Amino acid sequence: MLNLQRLDQLVSGAGLSRRAFVTTTLGGAVGLALLPGMGMAQQPANAKPGSKPTEQPLAFVSIAPDGSTTILCNRMDMGQGIETGLAMICAEELDADWSRVRTGFGDQQGAYVDPLMGIHLTGGSASVKNSYQQYRELGARTKAMLVAAAAQAWGLPAASLKAQNGVISGGGRSGGYGEFFDAAMKLPVPEAVTLKDPKDFKLIGRPTGLVVGQAKSTGTQAYGMDVQLPGMVVAVIQRPPVFNGKVGKLDSSEALKVKGVKAVLLVPLDRGGQGVAVVASGYWAAKKGRDALKLDWDLAGVARPDTAALTQQYLALAKTPGLPAPKPELQADASGWSKAPRKIVADFVFPYLNHAQMEPLACTVDLKADRCDFYYAAQMPGIDAMNLAKAVGLKPEQVQINVQMAGGGFGRRATPASEWPREAAAVAVALAQAGQRAPVKVIWSREDDLKAGYYRPMTVHRAEIGFDAGGKIAGWQHRIVSQGIMKGTAFEAWGVRKGVDGTATEGMREPYDIPMNLSVHHPDVNVPVLWWRSVGSTHTAYVMETLIDEIAFATKQDPVAYRLKLMAGNAKAERHRAALQAAVDKSGYGKRKLPPGQAWGVAMHESFESVVAYVVVASLKGKGKDRQPVLQEVHAGVHCNLCVNPKSVETQVQGAAIMALGTTMPTHRITFKDGVVEQNNFYDMAMPRMPDAPKVMTVSIVPSSDPPKGMGEPGVPALAPALANAVARLTGQRQRELPFRFA
């Protein structure tokens, strides 16, 4: 997802405050984020006007008379475990009985904005990082108010009371938190609180299972797809085969004959296209009705991208200078590359990718004359609320976003234009206009999302590197060709500087002190693009880490030692060195000999302020062009500063590694032919399965007491290059393209 640290820096560099950025962009075509103090940003009764999200405990904590404690998550959980992680932080300072803690989600109200960014956003691996201090303060304030309420009830000094494990005691009396919660929440919220010394932590830092773990493992967890409302109907949309197409001729007579079909409606789509919604009593009836439609599409004037042609266009562009990357360290004099005794000239091609989250998209809309409720997994409910209010013709305060648990997301659920919930809103409006007003759930099939969704941009890199026999780099000329993700969105003012989209270049050069000159081309293509788990680092890490490895190999240097040498003069690389060493130590690299037919691969990368290094062991199966790598072992070293929940970090890295493995597998890509996506489902877009998982996978977390950083995305970037580096040692071939291809 979005790199929030980078956005924050860009805003500051432009002389804008976060509030000023959002204020100046309100009213644009996209619709924008919600800030505290705006019309719909309601606050709890005991919160002072203008209270910060850290000062509104009643918005986050609820304790029942029996002591059951619910702690709301100010984000959307899509499997990263933040509903548990944030609850752990709050419960730590609250001194709650963890066995009685439950979790839930906030909504689009002002209390639930990211406290540092001032907008509603789940992304950028920022949930724990940005809300760590917030949830500590919320827990501490809640506890202080509970103690104050007990002191009043018992006529005792608050200082004489102790709160521990959900119980307040002192003066020979004791009572559970639930006895005092209602009275406590009527008291003033303390402006200042004393937080625990980390040495006294009982929850933070302890491996902890998800609060919803049992529900997920038993199939009882409800997701956005599972929402059921009385009288609800289901709709699917037939979208044009080429983006921005419109309906030419429509014959719905056969569709309306399908049992259960209630309506066939023309609806506006994202980006100015047009689709046909089939509304029925259930999904299968809606799908059968859609299959029975007879449609002619109007594609006049619509550009039809073609992957083969785009590849050649991008490769040609990469040979020409682009827009200079707006960072001084990326504008070094790289002319020495052409005079160096050794050279590498390499082109890399990365395909469009679908997010392929396990739960396809679904949004339920309950549109009434004076109110509209939305039920879906919302990554940006504040932005969505503004866009959706406009879509249904209501005021923002008449719209309610009910955030649901998501079965995966990886960025797909965070479209700045609120694409898929806005399309659901259009169906609800059309249904009401047709005189059939009812709650409606709009469902995307897997095929719908593969063929009509948003994608990671197709990207080409060209590197021209000169170095000497000792591996000293004389110059590194680099060009990137990729569509910009942020252009035309509410994030453009933050993320685009001097014409360069920062998501295309993030991860380049660091942590290596090398003379790099980087420029960028952003072609316009009729393909909608979006952040994909770890965004630009999905390709920049691959390019950097395979090329660094190639130089090490060419100069007969150990790949670990060479990386350490390149980082030697960088004081900011301490965490990189620690993560790399943790992976090396756990793997036994350099201390044990691998069996014949196996090879080591090494790579590391920092994204979203966390560093993940991989040391892998790989082998090959098959022959010739049909060869495929087998990932035998994966050893990860992680530096994310303070680790709130080691179990969540471990599982995030494991899942990220498997997801990254998928990017190397044959057919794992999205391709276009005459404007039409060629893939349909997982049968023609390879996904990693259980037999593809490594036999051994370890995650070593470097101890730290510094404030935590993000971990939802950083496990992705370094795995594919580590595997590619192992494959190069087995075959002598460098993989310049994803997915892998063998000669």
Task: Please indicate, yes or no, whether residues 177 and 118 belong to a single structural domain of this protein.
Answer: yes
Domain with 377, as residue range(s), is 224-301+361-443
Positive/negative CA dihedral, 106, 107, 111, 115: positive
- Pick the closest to residue 225 from 122, 127, 106, 357 (CA basis): 357
Here the tokens at position 63 are 């304790």
Task: Please indicate, yes or no, whether residues 544 and 463 belong to a single structural domain of this protein.
Answer: yes
**β 69-73/101-105 pair status:** parallel
Positive/negative CA dihedral, 417, 418, 423, 425: negative
CA atoms within a 13 Å half-sphere pointing along the CA-CB vector of 65: 0
Distance (Å, whole) CA 17 – CA 387: 23
Q: How far is CA 41 from CA 71, 286, 379, in A?
A: 19, 37, 17
| pLDDT for the residue numbered 1 | 56
The separation between the first and the last C-alpha atoms of the chain, rounded to the nearest angstrom, is 34
50 falls within a domain: yes
* 624: number of Cβ within 10 Å: 7
Residues whose CB falls within 8 Å of the CB of residue 435, separated by 6 or more in sequence, listed in order: none
| pLDDT for the residue numbered 569 | 84
- The label of the residue with tokens 């000293």 reads 472
Residue that finishes a domain, picked among 217, 236, 265: 217
Q: 533: alpha, beta or left, given left = phi > 0 and alpha = psi -120 to 50?
A: beta
Averaged confidence pLDDT in the chain: 93
Confidence of residue 46 (pLDDT cuts 50, 70, 90): low
Single pTM value for the model: 0.93
For 179-241, where are the E strands, in sequence order?
A: 233-238
Q: How far is CA 87 from CA 94, 182, 464, in A?
A: 10, 20, 49
The number of residues making up the chain comes to: 743
* Weakest mean pLDDT among 7-21, 229-243, 301-315: 7-21
Task: Please indicate, yes or no, whether residues 256 and 187 belong to a single structural domain of this protein.
Answer: no
**Integer-rounded Cα radius of gyration of the chain:** 27
* Domain total of the chain: 3
Task: Please indicate, yes or no, whether residues 344 and 465 belong to a single structural domain of this protein.
Answer: yes
- The label of the residue with tokens 């001032």 reads 118
Distance (Å, whole) CA 111 – CA 428: 29
**β 516-521/323-324 pair status:** antiparallel
Predicted confidence (pLDDT) per residue in 373-396, tens digit: 999 999 999 999 999 999 999 999
CB 244 within 8 A of CB 265: no
Task: Please indicate, yes or no, whether residues 140 and 192 belong to a single structural domain of this protein.
Answer: yes
Distance (Å, whole) CA 386 – CA 424: 15
743 falls within a domain: no
CB 5 within 8 A of CB 609: yes
| pLDDT for the residue numbered 3 | 52
Q: Who wins on pLDDT, 26 or 111?
A: 111
* 407: number of Cβ within 10 Å: 19
- The label of the residue with tokens 């004959």 reads 257
The amino acid sitting at 284 is W
Task: Please indicate, yes or no, whether residues 561 and 650 belong to a single structural domain of this protein.
Answer: yes
Confidence of residue 743 (pLDDT cuts 50, 70, 90): confident
7 falls within a domain: no
Q: What is the CATH number of the domain that holds 393?
A: 3.30.365.10
Q: At 558, is the secondary structure helix, strand, or coil?
A: coil
Percent of the chain with pLDDT over 70: 94
8 falls within a domain: no
The amino acid sitting at 244 is N
* 302: number of Cβ within 10 Å: 17
Any idea what DSSP says for residue 454? -
Q: How far is CA 424 from CA 247, 392, 706, in A?
A: 18, 10, 43
Any idea what DSSP says for residue 260? T
Res 43 pLDDT > 50: no
**β 233-238/246-251 pair status:** unpaired
**β 459-467/342-350 pair status:** antiparallel
Q: What are phi and psi of 80, to 5 degrees?
A: -80, -10
Residue that finishes a domain, picked among 188, 217, 246: 217
Task: Please indicate, yes or no, whether residues 645 and 681 belong to a single structural domain of this protein.
Answer: yes
Here the tokens at position 605 are 């990368």
Res 38 pLDDT > 60: no
Distance (Å, whole) CA 710 – CA 219: 28
Residue that finishes a domain, picked among 190, 217, 244: 217
Here the tokens at position 420 are 């898929």
- Pick the closest to residue 447 from 690, 678, 247, 251 (CA basis): 678
Q: Who wins on pLDDT, 135 or 50?
A: 135
311 falls within a domain: no
**β 173-176/167-170 pair status:** antiparallel
Q: What is the largest CA-CA distance in the chain?
A: 84
Positive/negative CA dihedral, 342, 345, 351, 352: positive
| pLDDT for the residue numbered 345 | 98
313 falls within a domain: no
Residues whose CB falls within 8 Å of the CB of residue 241, separated by 6 or more in sequence, listed in order: 297, 299, 451, 675, 676
Residues whose CB falls within 8 Å of the CB of residue 607, separated by 6 or more in sequence, listed in order: 3, 125, 506, 507, 534, 535, 537, 541, 713, 714, 716, 717
CB 471 within 8 A of CB 565: yes
| pLDDT for the residue numbered 423 | 98
Res 538 pLDDT > 50: yes
Res 35 pLDDT > 90: no
| pLDDT for the residue numbered 15 | 36
Task: Please indicate, yes or no, whether residues 485 and 630 belong to a single structural domain of this protein.
Answer: yes
Distance (Å, whole) CA 142 – CA 324: 51
Q: At 532, is the secondary structure helix, strand, or coil?
A: coil
Here the tokens at position 248 are 């030419």
Task: Please indicate, yes or no, whether residues 60 and 104 belong to a single structural domain of this protein.
Answer: yes
Any idea what DSSP says for residue 213? H
CB 34 within 8 A of CB 26: no
Task: Please indicate, yes or no, whether residues 212 and 233 belong to a single structural domain of this protein.
Answer: no
Distance (Å, whole) CA 170 – CA 152: 13
Task: Please indicate, yes or no, whether residues 614 and 489 belong to a single structural domain of this protein.
Answer: yes
Distance (Å, whole) CA 317 – CA 319: 5
Here the tokens at position 412 are 């797909």
Predicted confidence (pLDDT) per residue in 578-621, tens digit: 999 999 999 999 999 999 999 999 999 999 999 999 999 999 99
470 falls within a domain: yes
Res 175 pLDDT > 90: yes
Here the tokens at position 740 are 């892998």
Task: Please indicate, yes or no, whether residues 55 and 141 belong to a single structural domain of this protein.
Answer: yes
Distance (Å, whole) CA 374 – CA 197: 42
Confidence of residue 8 (pLDDT cuts 50, 70, 90): very low
Res 6 pLDDT > 90: no
What long-range pairs does 727-733 form, CB within 8 A, spacing at least 24?
Answer: 727/599, 727/601, 727/618, 727/620, 727/629, 728/546, 728/549, 728/550, 728/553, 729/553, 729/599, 729/600, 729/601, 730/597, 730/598, 730/599, 730/618, 730/619, 730/620, 730/629, 731/620, 731/627
Res 36 pLDDT > 90: no
Positive/negative CA dihedral, 316, 319, 320, 325: positive
Torsion of CA 587, 592, 595, 600, to 10 degrees: 50
CB 271 within 8 A of CB 243: yes
| pLDDT for the residue numbered 53 | 87
Res 249 pLDDT > 70: yes
5 falls within a domain: no
| pLDDT for the residue numbered 577 | 98
CB 283 within 8 A of CB 236: yes
Here the tokens at position 136 are 């500590």
